[in-house]
Amino acid sequence: MNSPHPSPATPAAPLAPTFSLCVFCGSRSGTDPLHAQAAQAVGQWIGRHRGQLVYGGGSNGLMGLLADAALESGAQVVGVIPQSLEIKEHAKRDCTELHVVPSMHRRKQLMAERADAFLIMPGGIGTLEEWFEVWSWRQLGYHDKPIGVLNVGGYYDALLGALGQSAQAGFMDNWQLDLIQISSSIDTLLPALVQNAGFAPPDRLEQI
């Protein structure tokens, strides 16, 4: 005999993210509005392509703009923040997952573990340190995940020139420079990172 009050349908589980992109960027917004626009565009791109954002867990600056845009576009967002910065960087409590960890070392380790690829955007000393660490790990063979630099408005031109000069002076080889993919175009760089990480091209991801 059928029940007069059928049980409500169980809501469908959210789709698992297709890829996970770790983004390093500033906890300040900077003076050039192009940088804020790029952070929002990257977050939107990740959401549109059913990706997951892994980032530093703060609400300030480019980090906050990036995470807000990703969440609003349907992405899952994993924030990782050390206890010492939980108040200073205003830990983002509405992340899909927020991990408060005891140290910067653990922060970077967990972010790297959760990522399929890395993207570097404009930022300060912390962003530079994160970029150079994952790059150093890559050239030492500790991981084989692709690394991209989004050179918004030529922000990294001078630094990239100095790195080229270092290679010319014999302190690094060109193959080490070639471990980094550099572009000013989100629509060029992000699909390349996802594909080089071993996933379907993003134009196909939207059809899945």
Q: What percent of the chain has pLDDT over 70?
A: 90
Distance from the first to the final alpha carbon of the chain: 40
Query: Which pLDDT tens digit goes with each residue over 81-131?
Result: 999 988 888 999 999 999 999 999 999 999 999 999 999 999 999 999 999
Decide which of 89 and 153 is more confident: 153
For residue 202, pLDDT over 80 is answered with no
Question: In degrees rounded to 5, what are phi and psi of residue 20?
Answer: -130, 120
pLDDT score for 12: 44
Buried/exposed 189-198: b ≥16 CB within 10 Å, e otherwise: bbbbbbbbbe
pLDDT score for 156: 98
For residue 69, pLDDT over 90 is answered with yes
State the alpha helices, DSSP H only, in the chain.
33-48, 61-72, 104-114, 125-139, 157-168, 174-177, 186-196, 202-205
Q: pTM of the entire structure? A: 0.89
31-51: average pLDDT: 97
Tokens of 103: 């140290």
- Is residue 29 within 8 A of residue 62, CB to CB? The reply is yes
pLDDT score for 204: 56
Tokens of 114: 């959760």
For residue 78, pLDDT over 50 is answered with yes
What is the Cα–Cα distance from 22 to 119, expressed in whole angstroms? Answer: 6
What is the Cα–Cα distance from 85 to 90, expressed in whole angstroms? Answer: 8
38-57: average pLDDT: 97
Numbers of helices and strands, H then E, in the chain? 8, 7
What is the Cα–Cα distance from 183 to 8, expressed in whole angstroms? Answer: 50
What amino acid is encoded at 108 in this protein? K
What lies within 8 Å, CB to CB, of 204 at 6+ separation is none
